[in-house]
Structure formats: C-alpha cells, structure tokens
Structure 1
Amino acid sequence: MGRQDLLIEHTQKLQKKDPEKTSLDALIDLCGIHWHPEEVEAGNEPDSSNVKWVSSSAKKGWLVPIPVGYKGIVPEFAVSDVADIRAPQYPTHFVESVYSIGEWRFINSQIEFDQMFWRYQTDFENQLFLVGATHKVKKTY
C-alpha cells in the first residue's frame, strides 16, 4: 500500500530541523536502520566493554522504498529525432525513476478498497508518469 503521506510528514519533520533536507533525505532516513552506542556498566570480565550498540529506526511498521513511476528529465523528442533507439516509430522521452514509501499490510487489516488497486496518473506539465491509489498525487519534488 502506498504511504506517500508518511514520506511527506517525515520530510516536513526533517525540514524543521534543517531546511536543506529533501524528500530523498527523508526516504533514506525512513528506510535506514541507525546504529548508535549506549553506555552500559562494565562487567567483571576483563574483556567486557562499557558500550552496547543499539539499533533504531525512524519508521514504524513494514515500510519499504518502492518505485512509483517516472519523471521526464528532458522534453519529449519527436519520431526520428533520436538515432539508434529501440522503437524509432514512437516519440522518445528520457526519464528517471520516482520512488516513494510503501507499507506491507496483511489483507485482513483495515484497508480501503481504492488503496489496494493502483491506477496510472499522469501530469504532462511536470513530466510525471506515476501509479498510485486513486487519490490525487501530492507534489513533493
């Protein structure tokens, strides 16, 4: 299930601390597991350490990065404007992948029907070609 709302929320949280943070920073932070030391009492053994490494994560639930479409990086080229392409009979459009956050959920959890089935969504003005739930795509780029 798409959870772009969590990505937007986490991006805003990071930007409150540092306005330079982007959605990519939030995506990496949500998907990462962070290791940090915690001080503990040293034991009686000579090799015991007073540091214990603990993992933490910003995410809650089973969140994973997922590709949700493409964004054009240059305007579309007309038929026969680009040499040596696979399908010269079609216009050519160079794109990059767009990623978001998805959440694994059990089928018996409370999910709205429209959230389970994704549909194509296009925004030609911004060269976005996405898939997602039926709700309107929020721009975070």
Structure 2
Amino acid sequence: MSYLLLLPHLRIENANAVAGLTWGFPAITHFLGYAHALSRKVCTEYGVRFEGCAVISHEHQVQAYSSGRDFQFALTRNPLTKEGNTASFNEEGRMHLTVSLVIECEGEITNGEYGKEAFCDRLKMLCQSHKLAGGAIVSMRDPQLFQTPENEQQLRQILWRLMPGFALYDRSEWLAEHHQQQPDTSVLDAWLDFAAIKYQATDPDEEGKATWEYQPKPMPGYLVPLMCGYQRISQLYPAGEVANARDSTTPFAFAEAVYGVGEWRGLHRVTDIEPLLWRYRTTETGYYCSAMPVADDFTINDDDDFE
C-alpha cells in the first residue's frame, strides 16, 4: 500500500436497501464494485490502482414505514401504461445514507503535492458521476490522500476526520467458530443465531403463561447479517449456450448469494486499518468479499461436484 485515499461523507439518495435475504444497508459488493470502477478510470491516467475498501457509515434512513411491528417499504407510483392503465408495483427497498470510504492505493503519483491535488480534483468529479449501490451521489467533501500510516497514532490522525461514524468489520470467523461448537446444526442455523432476534419462554405457570426472555447473540457487539459475494451453483456453460444471458460472448454459470456476519464498531475504537479493508477473493466456485486473511486453498462448499 502506498497511500490511503479518503472519500469523505458521500451523501447518497435512493440507494438499494435490499441485499439478498437481508435489508437495511447495501451489500458490501456495491462498495467494492464502486471502488473498482473508479480504479479503472484512474489506473491508466495516474498509474495507481485501488485495492481494499473500508466502509464508514455516518447516517442512514431506510424509506419504510411501520405499523408498530412489521416494516413495509415506501413504494413509488409507476407511470401509467401505454393503454392508460395503472402500472403494477415493483417492490424496491430504497434508502438515503451518508458514508465515507477509505481505499488503499497501490502505485506512485508523480509531481509531488501538485500531482496529488490534481488527482483528488479528478476523483471528486469521477465519484459524483458514478452511482453507488444504485443511488445518486448528491454531495461529498473533498477527497484526501495520505501516505500509508506507520503506527496507530498516524492512523488516528487520519481517521478522526471521519468521526463520528461506525466502521464495518468482517466477523465471518465468528460464524465458523459458532458452527464448530454446534456440529449437529447447519451453517444456516448458525447464521440465524447472529441474524435473527430470538426470545425464549421460561418458567411457565399452570395456565401455560410464561416469561419471554431475549436470547443474546453468540458474540457481543452490534452484529449484522451481510451479503458478501456470489457462489456458482451450476457447471460453467460455454458462451452463448444459455438463452437470454446478458452477455453472449462470456461463459455463463448460475450463481446464488453468499452470506456472512459483520460488526459495526465505533470509529474511535479503530486501532488498525487492515481489519477494515474489504477485498475480493476468487475461487473456482465464485467470488467473495472478505476483510480477513484466508488460506489460498480455502473454498466454500468445496465438496460440491460441478462437473
């Protein structure tokens, strides 16, 4: 890593709030895809590329309303059809949010401080020309570029510019540990222990009435379920063999979403930038987003036969 790039306080409107089985915040794939799209634009011009990406959340507002218990998305009325009839509703989960991205940059920017200033000016224009999680970026503060911090004090001097906020950690290793402690249950059951809100009845009386007590999650902290990639569930078909594929020149495979566990932690508690940097990890069966070191031979569902 040569630099740390801060894209501070991106205000996004009408972003996608649904990520597979989860809702309430965009999937981590949206942010890595956004950083990759920016990297392709600046790589040839400035000779740098973007790698890992950390997500800092400042505020969020899901466009939904509640009747007291269940939430329903606030939907928009679609235009009339050509026949003048009322168009059907397509349920879309939308949200407004403000996030900051901390991106690791590889490479060297020439012309000293002048080159860095020109790089940040170029990025500010590019950032607002792209959509993030399907939403429009309506405002942002000036991007900032820093040399890679060598110690915790230097890191804190950089990250204090983004306070107050919450950083997203990858806690998928906790899911693996929890599943190993309960070998008779499935991985889905172990994941639901982190994702679901559970209550258990205790001390029932003669009439069958009981006290309902909240069941804490397996680990402490502000834990949330995450969608963190895609996994292949079929064989790889030659290009053009599958009808109605979006790209007829690229081999095709059916895929499904992959889920993990994350933790929101206050930015004032961050002491190391590495656990925050989410990166792509690809295997023969799919691609995954992770912020923790993984062995090269590690694969998910490696017992499945796709031949």
Short-chain TM bin: 0.7 to 0.9
Extract unaligned runs of 5+ from structure 2. 1-168, 302-307
Moved more, 92-101 or 131-140: 131-140
Give the counterpart of 1:133 among 291, 298, 307. Answer: 291
Do the aligned residues in 1 keep the contact of 2:197 with 2:215 (CA within 8 Å)?
yes
Q: Which one-letter code corresponds to 1:7 in the other structure?
A: L
Matches within 5 A, 1:104-115: 104-115=264-275
CA separation of 1:40/1:111 partners in 2, compared to 1, >3 Å: closer, same or farther? farther
Matching residue within 198, 201, 204 for 1:34? 198
SS at 1:135 equivalent: coil
Deviations 1:78-122 (A, max 9, x none): 211112222212221211111010111111213531221111111
Match of residue 227 from structure 2: 67
Distance (Å, rounded) in 1 between the aligned partners of 2:181 and 2:203: 28
Aligned counterparts of 2:225 and 2:281: Cα–Cα separation in 1 = 19
Letter in 1 for 2:286: L
Does 1:52 pair with 2:211? yes
**Alpha-carbon contact 2:239-2:248 (below 8 Å) kept:** yes
> Percent same amino acid among aligned pairs?
28
Letter of the structure 2 residue corresponding to residue 113 of structure 1: I
Change (3 A) 1:98 1:84: same
Check the 8 A contact 2:170/2:292 in 1, yes or no: no
Question: Relative to 1, partners in 2 of residues 1:11 and 1:123: Cα closer, same or farther, differing over 3 Å?
Answer: same
Unaligned runs of at least 5 residues, structure 1: 42-48
Q: Deviations over 1:54-99 (max 9, x none)?
A: 1112332111110111110112112111122222122212111110
TM-score, normalising length from structure 1?
Answer: 0.78
If the length of structure 2 is used for normalisation, what is the TM-score? 0.38
Aligned residues: 128
Name the SS for the 2:170 alignment partner: coil
CA contact (8 A) 2:283 2:299 kept: no
The answer to whether the 8 Å contact 2:281/2:287 transfers is yes
Contact 1:32 1:57 in 2 (8 A): no
Which sits farther off after the overlay, 109-118 or 72-81? 109-118
The alignment partner of 1:30 has SS state of helix
1:12 and 2:171 correspond: no
Structure 1 stretches of at least 4 aligned residues deviating more than 6 Å after TM superposition: none
Shift of 1:139: 4.6
Q: Against the structure 1 CA distance between its residues 120 and 97, is the aligned structure 2 distance closer, same or farther, given a 3 Å change threshold?
A: same
**The structure with more strand, counted as a fraction of residues:** 2
Computed over aligned residues only, the root mean square deviation of the Cα atoms, in angstroms, reads: 2.3
1:80 aligned to 2:240? Answer: yes
